[in-house]
Structure 1
Amino acid sequence: MRLALDSISKKVGAQTWLHEMRLALHSGAVTVLLGATQAGKTSLMRIMAGLDPPTAGRVTVDGVDVTGMPVRERNVAMVYQQFINYPSMKVAANIASPLKLRGEKNIEARVRELASRLHIEMLLERYPSELSGGQQQRVALARALAKGAPLMLLDEPLVNLDYKLREELREELSPLFAAGQSTVVYATTEPGEALLLGGYTAVLDEGRLLQYGPTADVFHAPDSLRVARAFSDPPMNLVAASATAQGVRLQGGAELALPLPQDMAATAELTMGVRASALRVQARPGDVGVAGVVELSEISGSDTFVHACTPWGGLVAQLTGVHYFELGTAITLHLDPAQAYVFGADGRLAWAPARQGRR
């Protein structure tokens, strides 16, 4: 199934919720809608599903215009943030409901197969009210998979779960989607989920589609500062810089040798972007170092996040492992210049690691 949005937009009163955009989903693949809250993800999904019409433009499925077709006439499965299950039905009946509507055979075997894949086979005789939040969301996912719809929409389905449950389900989603035939659209605010799911990513910000492409390509070569901010967690470190004949000069006088585009003026205002994971406390050959003072150190899972005040400005380093730093102590952070991003005065990408030229 190939769903395409042709110059669609959405206005509500005087507000523009979605600016004009074109987007053609890759059939049978996962497309992640990545953006902050109110970026337009849910509005876009509702138009894809047929729950809301666009103000302008059209929606096509396999080349057929379905813009005015109501959701009840489309074969779409949706999973929301809330745990939406039939409270009067046991888990087995919840999962079986779309199978019964289609008049399928061997329903019991199919239900057990889906329950096994989602590790809820021991819950089939319970009611939703007897389940935890994570178990209820697994039931909702199983029912959506049972529907076998050519288009499956998931609107931040893990956001209301605790950290441990989110991590468990995230790891299970990719093989679940790969085992089906559906075109999957998955909305999230978290870059880590987009990277884990792979496929394709559409980055949204304030109702605008900023970039769409294979997830790895969008992550490694963001078109603009706006995309880089949206696709970095923690946010990408941004440092004021200027162009030189050899590369870029940073605040504090440090210089990085980078082969910038030849048409970039020698004194042009630039912004250098550095992902937190690219900063280290141990120097390697060719690194550029910057001395600073520790302002905050926090341990999250198996990583340590160090916030430091430096001549380049405030920096956040993501260090693998558990490390302890006293507040106010001196620290030197090191960067391989080849891992730096450079954005022009217009915010467009001028240099990315292992990639050259403007996008």
Structure 2
Amino acid sequence: MPNALFEDDAKLKRAKRRSTMPFNQYRRNLNAAILANKDPDGVVLQATHTWFAGGGRAELQAAFEHETGLKIGNRKDGALVEQGYPKNINEYPGKTAWDQYYIANAIIALQELDRIFQPGKPYPTRNPDIFYRNLVGLSRKLFLDTIVLLDDWATFKQGLQGVFGIGKNRLEHATPTYHSALQVIYGNCSPFAFSDNHSDTSVNQLRMAIELRLRRGFGVTAKLNKAGSIVPLALSEIIQVVALHKQNITFAVPFEHIDRIYQWSNIYMHTGLKQYVWSPIFALHYLRPFLLGGKHAGGTSSNAGIIAAPGVVKQVQSGIENGADKSQFDFVFEDLANCDLILKP
């Protein structure tokens, strides 16, 4: 009997230790605030805000640092792009074997959660129900991916799968893409589209925005065969030429980062492979000055994300044309005055 009591006492002590470990504390409070909370969405959002701004953020950081042994420090946004975004599918093994990949994604996750749950700024209580449903739907996915990030670390760094008891479908399917397209058309508060969150599909719009920005920025309208029909012109061909002249072009963010995020978005577009929910969100915010413009020496313009002299734009257009077989293809370029960039003297 004494031995049995001793064993029971030891089990109880181990259970208590486990319950106070940073990850278990984080997951328990996360479940109570949002994951397992069945209250109306407005109440859930308020509860999550109170928890996260009041200590949940620290719990998430403590859980990450305790489980991985890695310290979350400060990173410039450009470094987060370089460390947290694989440029192609072949970079994934190297990224997932690299500590900085996990640190970068933990920082990005915290930044995006901070954006939603700002301390001292609780959400109003009289917004339409869809307002709360949208934020709760996105927040649940963000928080779940913080656990997926730890599970990825255990899987790829330690060779231990399923340690944190969570799974994620890493491949996109046509169904959410279809429903996301309906939401773009009708909104997600209508009888014609579901209201659930499909934030991963934003990678489609991100990729298209980068492509249109570069094509129209340098006035690359079309590539034609000798019959006058439009034929494909891969953006990679334009990027290669622009890269040769980047030292004479002012981009709102480093051109290497534009290229990296574009190539990263192609992984999703061509394979359906999803990374983390915060990945396209951070990329959109980071590329905002490139995509939407802003202030420049002559004022403010949506074209200010790219600034170059007329001669440089002509060199880019000529480089694209010279890179093709002129006996087989012709090109249509915009006049410089119609290119979506700021022309400097």
Quickly name the TM-score band, shorter chain normalised. under 0.3
TM-score when scaled to structure 1?
0.24
- Larger relative contact order (CA 8 Å, sep ≥ 6): 2
Say which structure is richer in helix. Answer: 2
Please identify which structure carries the higher strand content: 1
